[in-house]
Amino acid sequence: MAVQIAVIDDWQDVARDVVDWSVLDSIGQVSFIHDYPADNETLAERLGAFEVICVMRERTRFDEDLLRRLPALKLLVTGGMRNAALDLKAAAALGIQVCGTDSYKHAAPELTWALIMAATRNLVAEANALRAGQWQQGLGGDLQGKTLAILGLGSIGQRVARFGQVFGMRVIAWSENLTAERAAEVDVTYVSKQELFEQADVLSVHLVLSERSRGLVDTQALDWMKPTAWLINTARGPIVDESALIKALQKQRLAGAALDVFEHEPLPRHHPFRTLDNVLATPHVGYVSRQNYQLFFSQMIEDIQAWAAGKPVRILS
């Protein structure tokens, strides 16, 4: 019998056209599902018939309860080699194979820099004003000579640091595991956590979400920041204490925030981030690029082919 394969989290209805899924015809039937995540009962009803499910990173949560409700499931394939929404221990106990893909490393840094430029130059307000028949509504800010603070100097943080250096910015960084020597290797100045927030003109978050990083940007950290500073978050929403950030923005304790990630996604319809004048918000499109999707989906297909042949690759454990 043909294997039933689901491609879920396809919110934009683009997955079927990014790559050629017909190469899986000899293995099974592929279904594309565009619904947003739901409760486990609804998800079990939606996904119960599928033996293979392809997921996007950290959109739909597969906890032990949901996995137990999916007795037909044999293979989970995720975009990327890390997905905090998947309970790998429970999957292993239930005999469910979990595989991943490589990631295109340029999409998120480029989106980060686009947000920095758009926020500091007031581009959205100026563009909207022009459409409304107006002309030159305010003054944008310059980046030359300003301080770019990187919270988390991993592969993405390093790319953003290089962008800042090209624009003539002074670049500083901090994370709990970062050392002055590692920062110096990419011409970045290592500072303390408090100094990072105090000195930032633009502070960009590039940490992996973990119990250690959850809520790390809290009320105290936001209070350290200049009232002229911008906070940029393209990493994960829960790294920033959302209620503390909302209060800081409402009181204009910061110049503003540019955000691509949120505590709950999709962002609730009446959330303050949708209406605050000093927030530039995008719907988690940091990794949503044609190149990245082509890489994700082509390697998902490879993972399914390898699993069907009894030789799974890119196994998550």
Tokens coding 164: 């800042």
Q: Which of 253, 265, 271, 314 is catalytic?
A: 265
Cα torsion angle, 66, 70, 71, 73, sign:
negative
Identify whether 265 is a catalytic site residue. Answer: yes
Query: How many other β-carbons are positioned within 10 Å of the β-carbon of residue 317?
Result: 7
Question: 223 in the Ramachandran plot: left (φ > 0), alpha (ψ -120 to 50) or beta?
Answer: alpha
What is the phi/psi pair of residue 77, to 5°?
-125, 125
Q: Which of 57, 58, 236, 242 is catalytic?
A: 236
Residues 185 and 71: their CA atoms lie apart, in Å, by 49
Q: In degrees to the nearest 10, what's the CA dihedral of 112, 292, 17, 42?
A: -80
What is the phi/psi pair of residue 305, to 5°?
-65, -45
Identify whether 236 is a catalytic site residue. Answer: yes
Q: In degrees to the nearest 10, what's the CA dihedral of 204, 209, 211, 217?
A: 20
Q: Is 172 helix (H, G, I), strand (E, B) or coil?
A: strand
Residues 232 and 7: their CA atoms lie apart, in Å, by 31
Tokens coding 266: 């999709």
Q: Which of 57, 59, 159, 284 is catalytic?
A: 284
Residues 7 and 59: their CA atoms lie apart, in Å, by 12
Give the distance from CA 136 to its chain's centroid: 33
Point out the residues that are catalytic: 236, 265, 284
